[in-house]
Amino acid sequence: MRSFFYARKSFYNNPYFLIAFLRTKTIKDKNTIATMTKK
């Protein structure tokens, strides 16, 4: 939750930071779904 706060705070200075943050989060979610599917 802290990392999200920092990402939101940095968004006003650098929108690309938030885009990269959301992209990594999506990749992590995809990996989690893939791991769950394998099980």
10 pLDDT above the threshold of 70:
no
1 pLDDT above the threshold of 60:
no
Report the predicted TM-score, pTM, of the whole model to 2 decimal places. 0.37
- In terms of residue numbers, what domain contains 15? 2-34
In a domain, 24, yes or no: yes
In a domain, 39, yes or no: no
In a domain, 10, yes or no: yes
- How many domains is the chain partitioned into structurally? 1
Buried b or exposed e, range 2-32, using 16+ CB within 10 angstroms:
eeeeebeeeeeeeeebbeebeeeeeeeeeee
Which has more confidence, 35 or 8? 35
